[in-house]
A = this chain, B = another copy of it.
Amino acid sequence: MIDVGIIGASGYTGGELLRFLSKHPHVEIVAATSRKYAGKPINRVHPHLQDLELEFSDVDIDNIDADLIFTATPHGASMKIVPRILEQGMRVVDLSGDYRFDNIKTYEKWYGIKHEGSLDAVYGLPEIYRDKIRDAHLVANPGCFPTGAILACIPLVYERLAETFIIDSKTGVSGAGIKPTTVTHYPNCSDNVIPYNVTDHRHTPEIRQELSKKYQVSVSFTPHLVPVIRGILTTVHTFLKEDLTPRELESIYSGFYEGEPFIKIIEDGEMPRLSAVRGSNECHIGCFEIDDNGRAVIISAIDNLVKGASGQAIQNMNIMFGFDEKTSLDIPAVHP
């Protein structure tokens, strides 16, 4: 049994952490902070958690005693509190972008914020860094787009089969967070498809960093907002450097992800789809088609709030504390 705190529990990723952790047999939630809703019951903000008898608190990090803290705080805010948490001997899974970059300069360029100083963080993509995560004190939980994109591309990188990736992603609106904006206003985004940050999205350098660990690859990334609540469908267009059949391509992926608890290779002409991962921590990868220009298409589907955020954070926690990796995450998606 471990004690866990959540800093920033009133947003969507906070709500998802609470949804899974409230049913985790080895976890006690000792704090769920929110300045705005301090003293209010959790279900005032998260109406689906009627059974959770817990209130938001405004407790300072110095007054929390826990084994692990999830920092579901905005970019820039995490780096102000994570060092203090670590100093107190607590481990951290940080859901912001603050500790994802090997190079502080990259962060500062793309986020436009002065960085307070790097820390020894592990990039929390279990399928690649499971061993390092086990002993990490600070895990930088990946971004939502990078999770879907990296998992769809990386087997080709490891096999040195491609070096140019054009990644066209479609994300649900919950990815924009819980705060209403003009973009997320229902009459604006319903029945619409909205490209945004077409060539300058902050997740671009994160994808590039992880795909270029073996050798330098070219990554072009463009996200679109689609009228969907949850989910990211990532369409990867790439040009293969070898002549492969779709079947061979598929078997490279099956081999690469063998034994992975949350990766499912979709076969038999079926396609990954958002409803098949809705609410779950799975990542579905499929398509594997190749056209007569030698362009291969790989498609992945994740729930942006789960495998793309809070579910993956809990997966990391399970690894860090030696729990079965699927604990509390072994819940099927809600389809249709």
Contact = CB atoms under 8 A, between A and B. Distances in A.
Contacts of A219: 293
Contact of A12 (B50, B173, B336): B336
B271 A196 contact: yes
Contacts of A180: 180-182, 184-185
- Counting chain B CB atoms within 10 Å of each CB, the highest count among A12, A166, A174, A330 belongs to A166
Contacts of A190: 173, 186, 190-191, 227, 229
A279 interface: yes
Nearest to A306: B334
Interface in A276-326: 276-280, 282, 284, 287, 289-291, 293, 295, 297, 299
B336 A229 contact: yes
Contacts of A336: 12, 174, 187-188, 229-230
A179 B187 CA distance: 10
A333 B48 contact: yes
Interface stretch (A15-23, A87-95, A115-123): A15-23
A279 B230 CA distance: 14
Contacts of A62: none
A293 B218 contact: yes
B293 A220 contact: yes
A170 interface: yes
A192 B228 contact: yes
A51 interface: yes
Given A44-B268, A235-B224, A332 B49 contact: yes
B275 A335 contact: no
Nearest to A261: B51
Contacts of A188: 275, 336
B195 A271 contact: yes
B222 A191 contact: no
Interface in A147-173: 166, 168, 170, 172-173
B237 A220 contact: yes
A199 interface: yes
Contacts of A30: none
Given A194-B271, A268-B44, A295-B199, A168 B235 contact: yes
Interface string A222-250: 10101111110101010000000000000
Contact of A192 (B174, B270, B274, B299): B274
A189 interface: yes
B220 A287 contact: no
Contacts of A282: 50
Given A48-B333, A229-B336, A278-B334, A289 B184 contact: no
A47 interface: yes
B334 A237 contact: no
A200 interface: yes
